[in-house]
Amino acid sequence: MKLTYCNRLWMAAGLMLATTAMAADRFDAAVAQPGRSAADLKRDGVDHPADILRLTGIGAGMKVADVLGGDGYYSELLGKLVGPKGHVLLINNAAFDHWSDAELAKRLAGGRLKNVEHRTLDLNEMNLKPHSLDAVLLIKVYHDLYWSDAEGVWPKVDAAVVLDQLARALKRGGVLLLVDHSAQAGHDNADASSLHRIEESFAVKDFESRGFKVVARSEALRHPEDARDQISYKPPMLGKTDKFVLVLRKITN
């Protein structure tokens, strides 16, 4: 049967839609995998991880760092996405390990996440190999790099040093997924310590200065009713903050 030009266009469009659907399915499958905890399933309703991770294109065989990944919620999903030939680095400092100790231990018990490697590091000296990572996640922790803690609970972190290390470790073309609690316009990083929030425009400039370009955004975690003037991790704003979602691609060597 001879195909008309229009028929060929419809077939091509159908193939593109099918390919997109298949790509989307693997992110849904990562969230739907058996064995995930009740706490993770509850968090899914707030974090929408399939929608957020889908923006990154993370797939089989990739090497990914989940920086300050805490109890490993995202690391477990990443492990499913990268598969047995991929590798996930779950990087915590001692403080994040302490706050996440019980849940992280349960998640990693018995070697159940075989391609997830947990490292406890000083963020100022992570010793990541140059051009060794395909993707990096900073999920609601970027502001912590600018946290100045007078009580000594949080170790001193040099944000510029940490971000420079991550930029060097990413391959050219690699992606960085950034999710954080929105600060008010014009506040830059001034609320990082007091409210645990940071301004989106400040973040964009911070990463653009290191050779990144914003390639995707999502409104999935927006809460426009949030006045952005209360602390992010305590009631009444716990789970209800306005959050920006950015995917940044490294465009330089």
Over residues 50-98, the pLDDT tens digits come to 999 999 999 999 999 999 999 999 999 999 999 999 999 999 999 999 9
Give the C-alpha distances (Å, rounded to integers) separating 93 from 122, 139, 157, 195. Answer: 6, 15, 10, 21
Residues 6 or more apart in contact with residue 8 via CB below 8 angstroms: none
8 Å CB contact between 147 and 196: yes
Q: What is the pLDDT of residue 151?
A: 82
Q: Which domain holds residue 203?
A: 5-250
- How many whole angstroms separate alpha carbon 232 and alpha carbon 246? 19
Give the C-alpha distances (Å, rounded to integers) separating 247 from 45, 55, 178, 226. Answer: 21, 7, 6, 23
Overall domain count for the chain = 1
One-letter-per-residue 3-state SS of 166-218? HHHHEEEEEEEEEEEEECCCCCCCCCCCCCCCECHHHHHHHHHCCCEEEEEEE
What is the value of pTM for the model shown? 0.90
Q: What is the pLDDT of residue 4?
A: 54
- How many whole angstroms separate alpha carbon 143 and alpha carbon 89? 20
Read off the CATH number of the domain in which 91 is found. Answer: 3.40.50.150
Q: What is the pLDDT of residue 15?
A: 46
Which one, of 246, 220, 224, lies nearest residue 139 by Cα? Answer: 246
8 Å CB contact between 165 and 128: yes
8 Å CB contact between 121 and 94: no
Q: What is the pLDDT of residue 219?
A: 98
8 Å CB contact between 247 and 175: yes
Strand partners, 90: 66, 118
**CA angle, corner 32, sides to 109 and 246, nearest 5?**
95
8 Å CB contact between 91 and 67: yes
Q: What is the pLDDT of residue 150?
A: 80
Q: What is the pLDDT of residue 114?
A: 96
Preceding peptide of 130 cis, ω within 30°: no
User: Mind listing the pLDDT tens digit of every residue in the chain (253 residues)?
Assistant: 455 544 554 454 444 444 444 454 899 999 999 999 999 999 999 999 999 999 999 999 999 999 999 999 999 999 999 999 999 999 999 999 999 999 999 999 999 999 999 999 999 999 999 999 999 999 999 999 999 988 888 999 999 999 999 999 999 999 999 999 999 999 999 999 999 999 999 999 999 999 999 999 999 999 999 999 999 999 999 999 999 999 999 999 8
The residue whose two tokens read 């008309």 is 4
- 21's tokens: 């659907």
